[in-house]
Chain A
Amino acid sequence: MAKKMHIKLTVNGQEEEFLAEPRELLIHTLRERLNITGPHIGCETSHCGACTVTVNGKSVKSCTMFVAQADGADVTTIEGLGSPDNLHVLQRAFKENHGLQCGFCTPGMITRASKLLEENPNPTEEEVRFGMAGNLCRCTGYQNIVKSILAAAAELNSAKEAAE
């Protein structure tokens, strides 16, 4: 058996330290070790995007990263974006625009969309579709997901204008 490694991670602002085999996948660390179950395991083959989290400012499929690679990293999951009492603007937009049906893909969708809007605060519909191409949804046909993200972008932009 391989040696365990001493791993340090910051997850949603909280520092975590533990011993793990380097082959442990980040999605398993989050879900099974840290009980952060927002990121989902969908395909396990880096296609579906349900496990998407933000690692050091990058949208990453956490089924395709060893915890050893993430040692020292800053990780944000859907739990770090909003809470039931204080929804993130994207979470509210998905709720209001019917951007989900079964909800399985939603944490990955929203986590990815948060990074997309950070990099491109005013995307066109086409840019949203291209920027969300790493996340699959088998229910909605994507129409309302795109609508939700565009609604969130508009809300964030008008809030920014109001502040200026």
Chain B
Amino acid sequence: MIPGAFEYHRPKDMEGVLAVLQEHGDDARVIAGGHSLIPMMKLRMADIPHLIDLQDVQGLNSITVGDTITIGAMVTQHHIIENHALASAAPIMREASLQIADPQVRYMGTVGGNVANGDPGNDMPGLMQCLDATFTLVGPDGEREVAARDFYEAAYMTDREDEEVLTQVRFDKPQGGFAYEKQKRKIGDYATAAAAVQIVKDGDTCASASIAMTNLSDTPIYSEDAGAALAGTTVDDTAIEAAVAAMLGDIDPTEDNRGPIEFKRHAAAVILRRAIARAWSRA
């Protein structure tokens, strides 16, 4: 499997990246780890006349941890797993990263690629929606910010313009209990269903909850109603079933080789119940 021919660019800075993007528009794409893009190019499902490699661009590799957490677009899943400060401040990041692909892919796969690609199977978009993250995009007119919850429009369609590059993700240090629960056919697979849950506990009751689902629609699904169904409850079975019912009202899975629609809805419910239980037990 040999991809179509392309011209390769490896700029040293973002100005260089933007210059190539402006010159070639839709004919140019940036490549980070390449583990989504290269397989598509090899299958000739993606034809990229100008490939812009971000590996030499400075300033995209850092993780900063404080009340606010920022992660550069070129930070890999391997980096996330190994970063102790991040693992202690936002443990859901490590828990989710460990469930992405396999070790070789995690050395290459980046946060920026995972969130900007727009593949409904990617795990980070749902996770970013759960954490209410903000994405930074850089384009010819400068920087702008977009909420993760507003970024995804359809499969592979996002708010990012052709001439923009996603440079970092940012979110407030998450509070309370967490869980990233993922059902997959085998290790390395995309989710049949996955749930990202953060729950804040106040005494015996749930103060607030944030719930997002992966690979159950053509975008990640932040289910505000599912989180609201837990708030103010003791997260008993009735509350969990209300949250599951709310989530099922928000997702819209399609039949594919991971199963028929009924199965996916069943798996989504099971996964969310498990995720809520685990997040609550850690809250």
Contacts and interface: CB of A to CB of B under 8 A. Distances in A.
Interface of A: 1-3, 5, 21-23, 25, 44-47, 49, 52, 58-61, 64-66, 68-69, 71, 112, 116, 130-134
B34 A64 contact: yes
Interface of B: 1-8, 10, 31, 34-35, 38-39, 41-42, 51, 53, 55, 78, 101-105, 107-108, 187-188
A65 B38 contact: yes
Which of A22, A46, A47 lies at the interface centre, i.e. has the most chain B CB atoms within 10 A of its CB?
Answer: A46
B188 A133 contact: yes
Nearest to A22: B8
Contact of B53 (A47, A64, A68, A112): A68
Given A22-B51, A52-B104, A131-B103, A68 B8 contact: yes
A68 B41 CA distance: 15
Nearest to B31: A69
14 contacts: A22-B6, A22-B7, A23-B3, A23-B5, A46-B104, A46-B105, A52-B104, A58-B107, A61-B105, A64-B39, A68-B53, A69-B53, A133-B102, A134-B105
Contacts, number: 81
Nearest to B76: A58
Contacts of B188: 47, 133-134
A106 to B, nearest CB: 16
A124 B31 CA distance: 35
Q: Which 4 A-B pairs have the closest CB atoms?
A: A134-B102, A22-B8, A2-B5, A58-B107
Nearest to A3: B7
B8 A46 contact: no
Contact of A5 (B2, B8, B107): B8
Contacts of B78: 58
A47 B103 CA distance: 11
Nearest to A24: B2
B7 A59 contact: no
Contacts of A21: 5
Contacts of B42: 25, 44-45
A60 B5 contact: no
A123 B188 CA distance: 21
A60 B78 CA distance: 12
A65 B34 CA distance: 7
A5 to B, nearest CB: 6
Given A59-B103, A69-B34, 6 more contacts: A1-B5, A58-B78, A58-B108, A69-B53, A69-B55, A134-B104
B86 to A, nearest CB: 18
Contacts of A25: 2, 42
Nearest to A71: B10
Contacts of A116: 103
A25 B105 CA distance: 16
A21 to B, nearest CB: 6
Contacts of A2: 5-7
Contacts of B104: 46, 49, 52, 59-61, 112, 134
Nearest to B4: A23
Nearest to A41: B1
Contacts of B34: 64-66, 69
A65 to B, nearest CB: 7
Nearest to B104: A134
A58 to B, nearest CB: 4
Contacts of B41: 23
Contact of B1 (A5, A44, A66): A44
B11 to A, nearest CB: 13
A133 B187 contact: yes
